[in-house]
Structure 1
Amino acid sequence: MAHQLSIFVENSPGKLERITKILADEKLNVRGICLANAGEFGIVKIIVDDPDKAYDKLKEHHFTVSKRNIIAVRIDDKSGSLCNLLTILSSNKINIEDCYGVSVAYNNSAAIIIEVEKYPDVESVLKKNNIETLTDKEVYSI
């Protein structure tokens, strides 16, 4: 299962730069990033090519960071594809806690990164509905 890092940060100039500098110094490649503002603080969600190493390095620099399971679902890059996926998940009582999209340079497709409560359930639902997921290697090389 692939992982994203969630980093709790103060909402101030330079915090995002500091995170990316630590990762760059360690030759870690950022594959996806999302920043959610919550007033004085925020959450940076990031996918890197080596989440374990990135987690350790950010902890060493005193960041509050967690490693979260994610599933990357390949969808057609056309109108309605995301809605179709969400309809399947909601009809199977799968609650999405977090999601964001990324481009995939493969066969006119995109990927939606999702975080859910029940991973075994979502994997089963996706497989039953012939919905393709990305491997960990594919996620870390998006």
Structure 2
Amino acid sequence: MLEHLSIFIENKPGKLNRISEILAQEKINIRAFMIAGAGTFGVLKVLVDKPGQAAQLLCARGLAVARKQIVIAILPDVPGALNKLLASLSANGINVTDSYGFLLHSGKSAAVVIECDMKEKAINTIQEQGYDLLTDLEKLSV
């Protein structure tokens, strides 16, 4: 199963750059990221090609890092596609605890990263809706 990292960071200039620099030096590719800021601190969610190695490197440099299992659904780039997916997950009792998305091909497809309870049930629900799952980040292309 795919993973992303949750990194607790100070909301100060240079903190995000420090993380990207550490990963770049070790040739770890950042595929997507998002930051949820809350005052003086925030949580950086980052999707990388080598999550285990990235987590070890960042922890060794004093950062608080958690590895979280995720599901990535590939949706058509049309109005209502995300709503259909979320309604289906909700109807099946699946709680989405964190999520972010990004466009893959304009007018064709988008990726939705989902952190949730009941991952296997979420996978089945996504597939039952006719959506594809991304299972290998190397296949992620824009």
TM-score w.r.t. length of structure 1: 0.92
1:2/1:139 contact within 8 Å kept:
no
Label 1:27 to 1:140 Cα distance change in 2 as closer, same or farther (>3 A). Answer: farther
Counterparts of 1:87-98 in structure 2, within 5 Å, are 87-98=87-98
Contact 2:104–2:141 (Cα < 8 Å) also in 1: no
**Which stretches in structure 2 are left out of the alignment for 5+ residues?**
none
Aligned residues: 142
Q: Which residue does the alignment assign to 1:58?
A: 58
Aligned 8 A contact 2:6 2:43 in 1: yes
Percentage of identical aligned residues: 39
Distance 1:140 1:27 in 2: 17
Aligned partners of 2:3, 2:37: CA distance in 1, in Å? 21
Counterparts of 2:119 and 2:26, CA distance in 1: 31
Q: 2:17: which partner in 1?
A: 17
What residue is the counterpart of 1:121 in the other structure?
A: 121
Taking a change above 3 Å as real, the CA distance of residues 132 and 107 of structure 1, as seen in their structure-2 partners, is farther
Summarize the Cα distance change of 1:107–1:120 in structure 2 as closer, same or farther, 3 Å threshold: same
Q: Which position in structure 2 is the counterpart of 1:81?
A: 81
Q: Which residue of 2 aligns with 1:132?
A: 132
Matches within 5 A, 1:34-49: 34-49=34-49
RMSD of equivalent CA atoms: 1.8
> CA 1:106–1:136 in structure 2 vs 1: closer, same or farther (change >3 Å)?
farther
For 2:96 and 2:33, locate their aligned partners in 1 and report how far apart those are by CA, in whole Å.
18
Deviates more, 1:3-12 or 1:101-110: 101-110
Structure 1, residues 33-86: CA drift from partner, whole Å, max 9, x if none? 100001111000001111111111101111000000010000000111111111
TM-score, reference length from structure 2: 0.92
